[in-house]
Amino acid sequence: MTQARARAYGLLSRLLLSGGDIDPDMAAHFVDGEVDPEDAATRYVATFDLGVPPYASTFLAEDGRVGGERTTRIADEIARDGFLPITDEVAACHLGVLLGHMYALVATGRDGRAREFARDHIASWITPLASAVAAIDDGLWSAVVAMVADLSLDDATNAPDGDGPADQPPPHPLLDDASGLRDVAEFLAKPARCGLFLTDAECARIGRAYDLPRGFGHRRARIETQLGSAAEYGRVGDLATAWLELVDRRDAALRETEDDAPSLRRLQSAWRARLQTTREMLETLREGARRAMTQQAAG
């Protein structure tokens, strides 16, 4: 079974590092029916290159940037385990690299260390990633990431507490009277603060629903554009409601995980606490928008 587990990690790693250029035989384990390689490659780009970057730092680093302290820490740990991450094209905190390392740890019989690594660097952010991926793709790639989530949570189940997101989430910006829309956008662009990765696809869909521009530039700028447009056109309440629905969907996924892996409840609770903070912020925003609308109607 150890060999099978190692192979599983190896296969998942290869898929995630493939850039979408896959062998259909590899995909057959995840979806029913034949997989069109061209389609898989297109969806890979949409899901990971344009959608949600599969990097631990994106979810766990305070600034959400790859290549910082979190990346370095992971690279150091891999090296200290006696392996050398090949990081020519992707950073050490890429999910494919992390799975490759799991392959190496499991294959060399270092089960304890594998569990610890799975808990600290994969299980600690895989559920928010899986939810975000599921929001973009309903085929091969969401199945692959879901399987990564299952495997890593299963491995992390018996690991002691470790290096996940802090239990207490940071406060949301609307608690500070001086905050503005830019601060809200900044908050929503950082999964480590808001608890979810707001994908461009979701933003686009919401934009279409409420006739709001999806904006351009980097993600925070796009969120800010959408929020600013909503404020300008009186759609903040709708936008907040739409985002609240996303929060609820993400929360449901986390609740499910809590049931699947009760021992990781603390980890999931930390993410759920962030979603709760975001929920409170969005409700405050919606309430503010409602009052503003009321005042506008009265005045």
Partner 1 sequence: MSDLASRVANFLGKMIGRGDESPVIGKTETNAGGEALPTFSETTVPPERLTHVVHPDGRMSTYPPPEVWDHWREWDSKAWPRKVARNYTLVPTICFNCESACGLLAYVDKTTYEIKKFEGNPVHPGSRGRNCAKGPATHNQIYDPERILYPLKRVGERGEGKWKRVSWDEVLEDVGARMRESRKRRRDGIMYHVGRPGEDHYTNRCITAWGVDGHNSHTNICSAGARAGYTFWAGIDRPSPDHANARAILLISSHLETGHYFNPHAQRIIEGKLDGAKLVTMDPRLSNTASRSDVWLPTWPGSESTILLAIASYLIRRRTYNREFVRRWVDWETFMKWAPKTPDMPELPVGDGTFEDFERCLETLYGQFTFERAAEESQVPIERIVETAKIVEDAGDRLAAHTWRSASIGNLGGWQVARCLFFLNVLTGSVGTRGGTGLNAWNKFVPKPFKQPPPFNAWNELQLPHEWPLAFFEMSFLLPHFLEEERGEIDVYFTRVYNPMWINPDGFMWLQALQDEKKIKFHVALTPTWNESAWFADYVLPMGHAGERHDVMSQETHAGQWIGFRQPVRRVAMERAGKKVQFTYEANPGEVWEENEFWVEVSGRMDPDGSLGVRQWFESNERPGELVTQDEYWGWIFDHSVPGLPEAAAAEDLTPLQYMRKYGCFEVKAENYLPYEQLVSEGGVEIDGVRRKGFETPSGKLELYSETLKDWGWPEIEYVLPWTLQSHVHPDHIARDKGEMLLLPNFRLPTLIHTRSANAKWLYEISHNNPVWMHVSDAQRLGVESGDLVRVETEIGFFIDKVWVTEGIKPGIIAMSHHLGRWRLQESSGGSPGMTALAKLEEDGDEHRLHIVKGGSAWKTFDPDTSRIWWKDVGVHQNLTHGVHPDPISGAHCWLQRAVNVRKAAAGERHGDVQVDTRKSMAVYRKWLAMTRSAMDHSPDGTRRPYWLKRPLKPVKEAYRLPNLRDDEEQAS
Backbone dihedral region for residue 200 (phi beyond 0: left; psi -120 to 50: alpha; all else: beta):
alpha
Chain-centroid distance, C-alpha 130: 6
CB of 199 vs partner 1, minimal distance in Å: 25
CA geometry: angle at 171 spanning 170 and 175, to 5°? 165
Among 133, 140, 153, 203, binds partner 1 (CB under 8 A): 153
Binding of partner 1 by 62 (CB under 8 A): no
CB of 93 vs partner 1, minimal distance in Å: 8
CB of 270 vs partner 1, minimal distance in Å: 19
Length of the chain as a residue count: 299
Can you read off the two tokens belonging to residue 58?
């994106």
Name residues contacting partner 1, limited to 225-284 (CB under 8 A): 259-261
Binding of partner 1 by 142 (CB under 8 A): no
Among 78, 118, 145, 227, binds partner 1 (CB under 8 A): 78
Please count the other Cβ atoms lying within 10 Å of the Cβ belonging to residue 84: 10
- Taking contact as CB under 8 A, which single stretch among the options 101-109, 125-133, 196-204, 223-231 is the one that binds partner 1? 101-109
Closer CB to partner 1, 83 or 210, in the complex: 83
Binding of partner 1 by 54 (CB under 8 A): no
Question: How far, in Å, CA of 206 to CA of 260, rounded?
Answer: 31
Among 100, 169, 191, 207, binds partner 1 (CB under 8 A): 100
Binding of partner 1 by 106 (CB under 8 A): no
Binding of partner 1 by 147 (CB under 8 A): yes
Question: How far, in Å, CA of 12 to CA of 6, rounded?
Answer: 10
Chain-centroid distance, C-alpha 298: 42
With CB under 8 A as the rule, give the number of residues binding partner 1.
50
Closer CB to partner 1, 31 or 292, in the complex: 31
Name which of 207, 221, 233 is nearest 292 in CA terms: 233
Closer CB to partner 1, 81 or 163, in the complex: 81
Residue type, 275: L
**Beta-bridge mates of residue 55:** 94
Sign (positive or negative) of CA dihedral 229, 201, 196, 63: negative
Closer CB to partner 1, 12 or 289, in the complex: 12
Binding of partner 1 by 211 (CB under 8 A): no
Question: How far, in Å, CA of 192 to CA of 87, rounded?
Answer: 24
Residue type, 293: M
Instruction: List contacts with partner 1 (CB under 8 A).
Output: 1, 3-11, 13-14, 17, 29, 67-69, 71-72, 75-76, 78-88, 91-92, 96-97, 99-101, 103-104, 107, 147, 150-151, 153-154, 259-261
